[in-house]
Structure 1
Amino acid sequence: MPANRPLDPKLTSLLENLRSRVRRYVVWDSVLALATVILAAFWIGLALDYLPVQLGGTEMPRLARMMLLAVVAAVVVAIATLMLVGRLRRPLPDDSLALLVERHHPRLGGRLVTAVQLNRPDRDGDSHSSVLLDHVHREAAQAIDEVDPGKVFRWQPLVRKAMVAVPLALLSIAFLIISPQAFARAASRLTLLSDEPWPRRANLEMVGIELPIVTAVDGDIAPPNLVAFDQNQTVRLPRGSSPTLRIRAEAETSELPIVCTVYYRTDGGTRGQSNMRRVGRVTDGYQSFVLDGPPLSGLSESMTLDVRGLDDRLDDFRIEAITPPALTEMNVTVRYAEYLRGDGSGETDMQTDYQSGLRIREGSEVTLVAASSEPLGDCEVVLKTANESATDFQLAYSDDRRQLRLLIDDFDTATTVAIVPRDADGISAQAPYRYFLGVVLDEPPELKMRLDGIGSAVTPIARIPVEAVVTDDYGVDQLVVSVTPSKAEADNTDQNSIPEVSASVLPKVDRDGNATTELDLRELVAGGKLAELVPGGAINVIGEASDRYDLAGKHVTRSEVYRLEVVTAEQLLARLERSELALRSRLEQTIDETRNLRESLNLLRRNFDEDDGGLDETEKTRQQQIRRLRAQQSGLQASKTSEELSGIAASLDDILREMTNNRVDSVDRQERIGQGVRDPLRKIVDEPLARLREQIVDVERSVDDSADAQGKTVVAIETADEVLLRLTEVLDKMLDLESYNEILDIVRELIDDQGKLLDDTKSERKKRVLDLFE
């Protein structure tokens, strides 16, 4: 048999059939593998994308879906390349197929392989018997009818792949039939054709953050400001604030969640959750939920929020905690009012850092410069005064917006400055900065004025000495002492006919505020500055002091009004005589008290004469205490007597000065009062009475030594006798002066009677002359 003898058609048909079956097997195996991978990836992706939604989570992010799609694509390409294209491109030679058949049909005994290999057209040079080859070929053709090509294949891999792919395919078809929209949404999301989320039972919407508005006005409760999240789901809030997170859930077309939960993560690593509070009822188809407690109360750091309600979720909302601007420094510049500045040189009079209790002079121009830690936006500034009145001010900012300048033109009342700094984004401090500025008001001058040597009445020609003490915060501008006739005391005169005439003098005030002047009524009347004064009328003396205050009117202070009656010299002397009589009564009383003092000293002397030898220590101590007490009482009485006599002498001196100031010519009277009474009284006070007081003190010191104390008491008694003697002499002179005054009164009455008689005589003569003409 030649080497190129063709293969039996049966054998050729068997090999071709087997080759076709192998290729179909490869295709089905690859298709099932691809279907399994794609369907498994679809359902796995659907589970990863949708099941978290059912559990309250979120869909797979686009990046995760992209990664899943990339993995599936890579696997599909690998399967297609390796399992399908790679295997289909591999050659299937006849001898390999024959060997495969021989392996599964051992009864062929290698005949099929031998026939195929030895009958290949390109085979030559083999040493074999043609008869034998032909015999083998014939036996192989005869046995081919018993060959089953199906035994060659392992169907388990296809079955396993089909057991996975077919159910997945049927499930996918059922999913497509039952819910084509959900199937399309799943396919589009997994293939990145769409990012539309899965529908939820609940529908939550983020409303925003309610932030309380910080105002500079006390008690002003403004509605909170609703701050919405930006496109990046971020909102900026000030540190230390207590915002309120607000969301709403649709209630008409969606299921309303019972509770919504906020899951937060701070930048510091703190994690936690808080339940939101349902607010009110369903309004306009929505139910509101708020979170107004931790972690938002007293916000201290940035955080990320996720809100969950049923199967809906609001993710990755960011709160940035921003440090609000703070006023780090406050500088106060003051320029005083012009009347306080003297020459007005210089731009400022005081510049200092703000400190508690700062007080500023009235009328000053005050400039407050506040430094901020951050560039400022529009700040809220409120000035509040004690009387709730508004204060005008000017507000300006530096070029870099880091300084706030506040100008108060006319500072005239205590003011509280409240500032709420805000940055360019509207982030404000969580409490206003308050600065209290006290005011130093320019008080009116204080004026104390008295008339020296003038009583309640004056003569028309009197001199009125005036002593004044005037003080002011910033210096006295002028002091005016005026004398004005009083209309009310004019007798038998038309009150409206008396002109309003007053005379004034401007005394000079020294650095200590002391001023002295004299109102000479005689000269004022002679000079035409004052209307003629008539006895029976009255004048008013008043002082007025003013300072340089010029902000709102003038500061004028008036002294006590001294109302002085205008009397004749005789009337004035009569008044003075009554004063002398009162002083004589005081002197008589003082003499009686001095006698009592002398008796007390004599009693103390007799007490020292008593023998203390028979007394025990307690009785001796008690006796010494009694003696010391009596000595102290005697000393007090001596001091009182000295003060009383000094007062009498001062009153007599006032009488003398009043006579001098009223130009009453009574030289004899002045000499008798001054040299006869006043001067002796002063000598008594300065000499024997002062010596008596010292002696009583010595007696008190020597109470423990009876003998020594007795001797000192005797000396004190002798001094008391001397005081009594000299006081009696003064009293006798006052009695003589009283007798003299009585004589003067009789003479005055005689003169008055004579004047009346002369007037009556003149009237009678006029009457007789008139009778002659009748």
Structure 2
Amino acid sequence: MSASTTESVRLRFQRRTLPRFDALARRIRLYLLADGLAVVSPAMLAAVLITLAVDHAFRLDASMRWVQAISVLAILCWLIWRFMIRPLTVILAKTDLATIIERRHPHLGGRLIVAAEFASSPPAATRGSAALIDKVIEQADNATLQLRFTDSLNHRRALRQTTLGLAGLVGMAALLLLAPATMGLWFERNVLLRSVEWPLKNRLIVEGLTDGKLVVPRGDDAVISASVAPGYEAPRQAYIHYHGTDSLRGQAQMPEVRGQPVRFTHTFEHLTETVTCRIVGGDAQTDPFSIEVIDRPSITRARIGIAPPAYTRLDSYELREGQTVAEVLLGSEIRLSIATDQPIASAILARDIGGKQAALGPAQQLGERELSATDRPAASAAYHFELTGTTGLTNISPRVPLTRFVVRVDPDQAPVVKMRIQGAGEMITPQAVLPIDMEFSDTYGLASAGVVFGSGKSEDQGNVEPVSGFERSSKTFNRLIEWSVADHGLAEGDRLSIWAEATDFDDVSGPNVGKSTPAVFRIVSREELAAELNRRQHEYRQDFERYLRRQEELYSDLLSAMEPATTEAARQQRTQHLRQLARRQRDQASQVATVAKQFEQVLSEMRVNALSSPAVEERLGRGVAQPLRSLSRERMPAVAETIDRLAGEDDEQFAREARDTQSAIRDEMNNILARMLEWEKLEEAVILLRDVLNMQRNVGKETETTLERDILGTVPASEPAK
């Protein structure tokens, strides 16, 4: 390409495109100026408002206004430099502007940046192919011919920033137009720094003062009220500044109370020291005044003495000094003793029970500052003393808490009685001997202890039978007795309700009677009880047969789980299966333990009801119950533990031990089942023999009756048993 062509391309680019760069640069600087104005203008408005508010509220002197003016001026100068002058000093190169345009129009592909760079320098200073450079410049010129470079700018943000800056200027103009006098005074005091005073519009008068002071009781509330003087405006806010003789110091805003005249009030709660105050509101400031505090009579020491009822045989005692809450036994006498901080003219003891307050009468004067009073409360109550000092002040105040004595009255509890009858079911025979284990206890001593038995009907109060070995006034008493049913005249068909009972020495609201939970029995024949026990054994044996089948299934599953696993997934499944089998074995042990308890209960009932014998002990005790207990407590938990170990570690010894133990358990359970079946057959034979003997006795009695009627001609006194 010739030199003339190169100059023509570049000249056209400089004439058509570069001026648009200059226009974009000017627009950017204008927007930067708008950004700076958006910061500086509101800052100036805020500075005007803040200095106006501070100066008007606190009436700053000349030195404080100098410091304020220099501080504000320094901040504004820094804002103007940072947000207005400094951004305008930044040089905007053509390539930088081209970069901004390329961001908005990425399809230019960087040609505009290259064209701006080469068009800004003479052709001789450029390196590379002149034709290629001219081609790039020409492409960039043609590509941007229809583009608006200002589209690369955020016009909406610029408009928002311009609006914000103008709003600040408009705000300052509005202040000048709406309050020219106030703004003129502000300008003289805070800009020209002249000693011009703000005009006074407010004046406050403190009410209730006598010789410049207000007298209140110590600990009470002190209400300070300041009214607006006639002819003056009410300030928008009023503050009270105060400092006490001790640690009280500070200031607080006073709430406004509407009315004629307007008042501002403040309450000192629980005031305990003399306070010097002054009130400031608007441009008003009162003369200093004081709040003088004097003491109400108060209790400095308190003590509660308690005399328990005589039947407890406890000595009188006193609680530690300062403890004002007590728990006493019903019938106790309490003595409330106090000491006061000043001489007392009169003192009355008041009692509050359930919200009903009553005066009990004057307290006994033990000294100039010591008093006491007594009472015997029938219910829980709260007490306080109503004191009147020699100054005429009382200790009654809604804001000062009274020293209250709280006495909770607890009635004497009935003796605690427990009774256990081991080995007896709800059915017993007349030959039964009940092992009754009794425990009696009472905090203050037992007056009596005995066994009570009756028919179990509500109208039957029972027959009391003292327990041998009991000593009155004992606090605890334990006794195990053997109670014979036959010795107490009970026969078949009767019902027996039996419980342990004790009384205490309570002569205030008692005596209190403590009873154990009654045990109720039905008295039946030996044959009926034997049949019942045989029926239960039959049910327990059926349950045991189910558990035996489950044990055999568990043994079969264990053998299946011991087969070698060839893959990792199979080994994991085998481990999970073994752990599940261990859990099943533990469940099986729990179920077998239940069966063992059931057979032990049957054996215990047989012992209690005189149905046991050496053969019964051998067959049912050592042949069934004891092996079941051994299985559930020892062998089954042990094999479950072995299966768990086998699941965690594939060891041949564990596998052999688990297999052998499972086989032994299964064999033992089969042996136990065989003994159960043998015992059932024997029992069925015995029951059948008893039935035959009963039938034989009945036939004999009927024969005797018939002979007496037919041969002797006499009528028997009673019909034979059917």
How would you bin the TM-score normalised by the shorter chain?
A: 0.5 to 0.7
SS at match of 2:404: strand
What does the per-residue CA deviation read over 1:530-584, in whole Å, with 9 as the maximum and x for residues that have no partner? xx545434443233211222221211123334444454xxx23322321222122
What does the per-residue CA deviation read over 1:386-405, in whole Å, with 9 as the maximum and x for residues that have no partner? 4758696772233212x232
Q: Is the 8 A contact 2:307 2:332 kept in 1?
A: yes
Aligned to 1:399: 367
SS at match of 2:363: strand
Cα distance between partner residues in 2 of 1:768 and 1:738: 41
Matches within 5 A, 1:590-739: 590-608=544-562, 610-612=563-565, 614-616=566-568, 618-659=569-610, 670-685=613-628, 687=630, 690-703=634-647, 704-720=649-665, 721-739=667-685
Q: Is the 8 A contact 2:435 2:480 kept in 1?
A: yes
What does the per-residue CA deviation read over 1:468-508, in whole Å, with 9 as the maximum and x for residues that have no partner? 223333343321212335789xxxxxx9xxx9983512344
Cα distance between partner residues in 1 of 2:461 and 2:324: 54
Q: How far apart are residue 265 of structure 1 and its match?
A: 13
- CA distance change for structure 1 residues 698 and 304 in 2, over 3 Å: closer, same or farther? closer
Aligned to 2:389: 423
What does the per-residue CA deviation read over 1:31-62, in whole Å, with 9 as the maximum and x for residues that have no partner? xxxxxxxxxxxxxxxxxxxxxxxxxxxxxxxx
- CA distance change for structure 1 residues 579 and 320 in 2, over 3 Å: closer, same or farther? same
Cα distance between partner residues in 2 of 1:391 and 1:517: 56
Q: Is the 8 A contact 1:587 1:648 kept in 2?
A: no
Q: How far apart are residue 375 of structure 1 and its match?
A: 1.9
Q: How far apart are residue 442 of structure 1 and its match?
A: 2.1
Q: How far apart are residue 758 of structure 1 and its match?
A: 3.1
- CA distance change for structure 1 residues 393 and 366 in 2, over 3 Å: closer, same or farther? farther
SS at match of 1:377: strand
Q: How far apart are residue 241 of structure 1 and its match?
A: 2.8
SS at match of 1:352: coil
What does the per-residue CA deviation read over 1:402-432, in whole Å, with 9 as the maximum and x for residues that have no partner? x232322x24543322344432222134322
Which among 303, 312, 325 is matched to residue 340 of structure 1? 312
Aligned to 1:239: 218
Q: Is the 8 A contact 1:587 1:645 kept in 2?
A: no
Q: Is the 8 A contact 1:381 1:417 kept in 2?
A: yes
SS at match of 2:407: strand
Q: Quick check: 1:323 aligned with 2:303?
A: no
Structure of larger gyration radius:
1
Aligned to 2:531: 577
Q: Is the 8 A contact 2:352 2:382 kept in 1?
A: yes
Q: How far apart are residue 630 of structure 1 and its match?
A: 0.8
Aligned to 1:515: 479
Which among 448, 454, 464 is matched to residue 484 of structure 1? 454
- CA distance change for structure 1 residues 353 and 297 in 2, over 3 Å: closer, same or farther? closer
Cα distance between partner residues in 2 of 1:508 and 1:737: 42
Unaligned regions of 5+ residues in structure 2, if any? 1-206, 235-239, 278-288, 717-722
Q: How far apart are residue 590 of structure 1 and its match?
A: 0.9
Shifted more, 479-488 versus 648-657: the winner is: 479-488
Matches within 5 A, 1:505-584: 505-508=466-469, 513-524=477-488, 533=490, 535-567=492-524, 571-584=525-538
Aligned to 1:366: 334
Cα distance between partner residues in 2 of 1:295 and 1:724: 92
Aligned to 2:162: none
Cα distance between partner residues in 2 of 1:470 and 1:394: 46
Letter in 1 for 2:497: N
SS at match of 1:383: strand
Q: Is the 8 A contact 2:424 2:604 kept in 1?
A: no
Letter in 1 for 2:414: P
Q: How far apart are residue 208 of structure 1 and its match?
A: 9.7
Cα distance between partner residues in 2 of 1:633 and 1:275: 78
- CA distance change for structure 1 residues 391 and 519 in 2, over 3 Å: closer, same or farther? farther
Unaligned regions of 5+ residues in structure 1, if any? 1-206, 210-228, 247-256, 281-288, 306-316, 489-494, 525-531, 660-665
Q: How far apart are residue 275 of structure 1 and its match?
A: 13
What does the per-residue CA deviation read over 1:629-673, in whole Å, with 9 as the maximum and x for residues that have no partner? 2122123213421342233123222222222xxxxxx6xx63332
Letter in 2 for 1:591: E
Letter in 2 for 1:365: E
What does the per-residue CA deviation read over 1:242-291, in whole Å, with 9 as the maximum and x for residues that have no partner? 47899xxxxxxxxxx999x9xx999979999x9999999xxxxxxxx999
Shifted more, 448-457 versus 596-605: the winner is: 448-457
Aligned to 1:466: 436
Letter in 1 for 2:591: K
SS at match of 1:422: strand
What does the per-residue CA deviation read over 1:36-90, in whole Å, with 9 as the maximum and x for residues that have no partner? xxxxxxxxxxxxxxxxxxxxxxxxxxxxxxxxxxxxxxxxxxxxxxxxxxxxxxx
Letter in 2 for 1:333: G
Letter in 2 for 1:472: D
Give the superposed CA RMSD: 4.9
What does the per-residue CA deviation read over 1:147-176, in whole Å, with 9 as the maximum and x for residues that have no partner? xxxxxxxxxxxxxxxxxxxxxxxxxxxxxx
Matches within 5 A, 1:168-567: 237-242=216-221, 293-294=265-266, 321-341=293-313, 348-355=316-323, 358-379=326-347, 381-386=349-354, 388=356, 395-401=363-369, 403-408=370-375, 410-429=376-395, 430=397, 431=400, 432-459=402-429, 462-484=432-454, 502-508=463-469, 513-524=477-488, 533=490, 535-567=492-524
Q: Is the 8 A contact 1:460 1:521 kept in 2?
A: yes
Cα distance between partner residues in 1 of 2:515 and 2:631: 46
Q: Is the 8 A contact 2:353 2:381 kept in 1?
A: yes
User: Identity, % of aligned pairs?
Assistant: 17
Cα distance between partner residues in 1 of 2:312 and 2:544: 56
Aligned to 1:164: none
Q: Is the 8 A contact 1:583 1:648 kept in 2?
A: yes
What does the per-residue CA deviation read over 1:693-715, in whole Å, with 9 as the maximum and x for residues that have no partner? 32332232123215233211221
Cα distance between partner residues in 1 of 2:423 and 2:244: 89
Q: Is the 8 A contact 1:245 1:290 kept in 2?
A: no
Q: Is the 8 A contact 2:442 2:475 kept in 1?
A: no
Letter in 2 for 1:558: K
- CA distance change for structure 1 residues 583 and 391 in 2, over 3 Å: closer, same or farther? farther
Cα distance between partner residues in 1 of 2:387 and 2:231: 41
Cα distance between partner residues in 2 of 1:622 and 1:417: 75
Shifted more, 454-463 versus 431-440: the winner is: 454-463
Q: Is the 8 A contact 1:302 1:320 kept in 2?
A: yes
- Number of aligned residues: 485
- CA distance change for structure 1 residues 387 and 542 in 2, over 3 Å: closer, same or farther? farther
Q: How far apart are residue 676 of structure 1 and its match?
A: 1.5
- CA distance change for structure 1 residues 474 and 619 in 2, over 3 Å: closer, same or farther? farther
Instruction: Give me the TM-score of the superposition, normalised by structure 1.
Output: 0.53
- CA distance change for structure 1 residues 445 and 766 in 2, over 3 Å: closer, same or farther? same
Q: Is the 8 A contact 1:447 1:469 kept in 2?
A: yes
- CA distance change for structure 1 residues 389 and 381 in 2, over 3 Å: closer, same or farther? closer
SS at match of 2:497: strand
Cα distance between partner residues in 2 of 1:745 and 1:759: 21
